[in-house]
Structure 1
Amino acid sequence: MKKKRIYRIAVIIAAIYCLVGAGLYFLQEKIFFHPEAVAAGIRYSFPEPHTETDLTFDDEGSVHLVQFNVPDSLNKGLVLYFPGNMKNVTHYARFVPAFTKKGYAVWMPDYPGFGKSTVPLSEAALYEMSLQIYKLARTHYRPDQIIIYGKSIGTGIASQLASVRDCRKLILETPYNSIASLAKPYLWMYPYSSSLLHFQFPTCDYLLKVTAPVTVFHGTADRLIPYSNAAMLKQAFKPGDEFITIEGGDHVNLNSYPLMQHKLDSLLMQ
């Protein structure tokens, strides 16, 4: 009887182990991304002047791009802004004035499956999206006029783009070393947990190939992406790159800290 009981317990544990692993494999898109779709016929409403463009991806669909404009007489350059994993552009448009007030246009996409973008979501699609946006930007701006900016999940996308295309600066807000390193503390029981992940975003690997100056902003109280994980990126820094620590800052409020406001203003003035 004792052996049967041990066997039943072992079977239950094995079943739970497999179920958790299967859940991670099949549901991770819902874990990492929280999109909110918007009907194609609806126009976004923002106080800043803007235009909306759809970039077609063969037969797979399109990516919706919002282009926040500044007058030509004040235009100093362009910020390609790759946002976090929530809703769509409407959730992140509030950060646009930090750049437009300094004379920079801002282009911000709805990620595949977000807002009015209809391309299926995948890591490869996100990289292709960023490349197509960059190519469009180059028809209007020189590389030394383009700042690539990533926030949260968007830092991996921004870093990959900056690793294959020239830009004036790469700025990362609340970045991570990689998705695998973020997940490892929670998936310690799976020795090959990285192989379960559809999304890798190896930001640190990309930074090794970035030739533009890099600035990182991260808060010490970030519970979503621990400060210690972001600090791993320093190993990929080259001379001149900088890591700005926001004491007490969490994942969503760094923009409210004077240190970040002043430093970002300084970067945009350079």
Structure 2
Amino acid sequence: MSDIRHQTSDIRHQTSDIMKIPRWLKIIVLIYALVGILFYSFQQKILFQPVVVAADSSYQFDQPYEDIWIPVDQSAKTHIVHFTVPDSLRKGLVLYFHGNRGNVRRYRRFVSKFTQHGYAVWMPDYPGFGKSTGELTEAALYEQALQVYKRARQFYAPQDIIIYGKSMGTGVAVQLASVRDCKKLILETPYNSMRSLVGIYLWMYPLKSILQFQFPSDEYMKKVTAPVSIFHGTDDGVIPYSNAVKLRKLLKPGDEFITIENGTHRNLNTFPLMQQKLDSLLK
């Protein structure tokens, strides 16, 4: 009975100690747990904001295009918009991996920068974007990009293919260029890795474990053998310049990191420096 009394007394003391934890600390722990649970549960909706389009609908673009479909499995397929150029002017192909919002319609305004130089453009929509279907995962994005590349190789040699990534799409573009040959890899507003980017805001969480989309561009960049050109603005409020500039130390001799002073995440194409440099890369 004496032992039981002592154990009961110890439990009361421990309970009393717990009750003594300051209320403000309990609130902080509760907020920490709540934010972590919400981010884990809704991270895909935070990172990706697709707009779905009916498969039988038609886009109204101001330049000629064709639809390309690549079956993934019985229930999923990738839709690619092929912006065409006359055969007599065609110099090659740009595989364009767009950002995290909307669909091809949002990014078609950038196509003329390539077609005016004789490059056709293939712009795939990610699973769940536009007319593409399937499960949206990091592995699925890499596999989709690989299948798009394999289809492109039926018509173009590696030395005629430019891989281009914009914003979120830079992670997909770098991974593809790390496993397949191409003429150039061009990145617009890239990030060092998704973990390091999200870590700017959620540094207190174990992102290696809870982040479903890692996109380790820094690791894949080490395996890219093609010439690399990177464009990033100093006033980018979405992907900070300080995060992107970490990629510079991974570049090979001859690669370029082009800094656009005062450039933001969405206006780099309005700067003469980017226009002139992109023109020189495509000529």
* CA distance 1:12–1:51, shift in 2 (3 Å): same
TM-score normalized with structure 1 length: 0.96
Q: Which residue of 2 aligns with 1:195?
A: 209
Q: How many Å apart are 1:105 and its aligned residue?
A: 0.0
Question: Match of 2:249, SS?
Answer: helix
- Residue 98 (1) aligns with residue 117 (2): no
Q: Which residue of 1 aligns with 2:259?
A: 245
Q: How many Å apart are 1:193 and its aligned residue?
A: 2.1
Q: Which residue of 1 aligns with 2:274?
A: 260
Matched residues in 2 for 1:238 and 1:38: separation? 40
Q: How many Å apart are 1:201 and its aligned residue?
A: 0.5
Q: How many Å apart are 1:103 and its aligned residue?
A: 0.3
Matched residues in 1 for 2:44 and 2:96: separation? 22
Question: Match of 2:67, SS?
Answer: strand
Structure 1 runs (4+) greater than 4 angstroms displaced: none
Determine if contact 1:153/1:175 at 8 Å carries over to the other structure.
yes
1:135-174 paired onto structure 2 within 5 Å: 135-174=150-189
Question: Match of 2:69, SS?
Answer: strand
Question: Match of 1:131, SS?
Answer: helix
2:218 to 204, 208, 214: 204
Q: Which residue of 1 aligns with 2:128?
A: 113
Q: How many Å apart are 1:106 and its aligned residue?
A: 0.2
Matched residues in 2 for 1:251 and 1:218: separation? 8
What amino acid maps onto 2:117 in structure 1? Answer: K
2:63 to 25, 44, 48: 48
Q: Which residue of 2 aligns with 1:65?
A: 80
2:247 to 233, 241, 256: 233
Q: What is the RMSD computed on CA atoms of the aligned residues?
A: 1.5
Unaligned segments of structure 2, at least 5 residues: 1-15
Q: Which residue of 2 aligns with 1:221?
A: 235
Determine if contact 1:33/1:86 at 8 Å carries over to the other structure.
yes
In percent, how many aligned pairs have the same letter? 61
Structure 1 residues 130-186: Cα deviation after superposition (integer angstroms, max 9, x where no partner): 000000000000000000000000001000000000000000000000011111121
Matched residues in 2 for 1:149 and 1:54: separation? 20
Question: Match of 2:164, SS?
Answer: strand
Q: Which residue of 1 aligns with 2:5?
A: none
Q: How many Å apart are 1:194 and its aligned residue?
A: 2.4
Q: How many Å apart are 1:10 and its aligned residue?
A: 3.8
- Residue 175 (1) aligns with residue 182 (2): no
Matched residues in 1 for 2:19 and 2:139: separation? 48
What amino acid maps onto 1:146 in structure 2? Answer: I
1:19-58 paired onto structure 2 within 5 Å: 19-58=34-73
Matched residues in 1 for 2:56 and 2:202: separation? 42
Q: How many Å apart are 1:93 and its aligned residue?
A: 0.2
Q: How many Å apart are 1:7 and its aligned residue?
A: 5.2
Determine if contact 1:60/1:120 at 8 Å carries over to the other structure.
no
Q: How many Å apart are 1:5 and its aligned residue?
A: 6.5
What amino acid maps onto 1:118 in structure 2? Answer: T
Question: Match of 1:72, SS?
Answer: coil
What amino acid maps onto 2:167 in structure 1? Answer: S
Question: Match of 1:18, SS?
Answer: helix
TM-score normalized with structure 2 length: 0.92
Structure 1 residues 113-137: Cα deviation after superposition (integer angstroms, max 9, x where no partner): 1011111111111101100000000
Question: How many residues were matched structurally?
Answer: 268
- Residue 123 (1) aligns with residue 147 (2): no
Structure 1 residues 203-240: Cα deviation after superposition (integer angstroms, max 9, x where no partner): 11111000000000000000111111100001211111
* CA distance 1:3–1:109, shift in 2 (3 Å): closer
Unaligned segments of structure 1, at least 5 residues: none
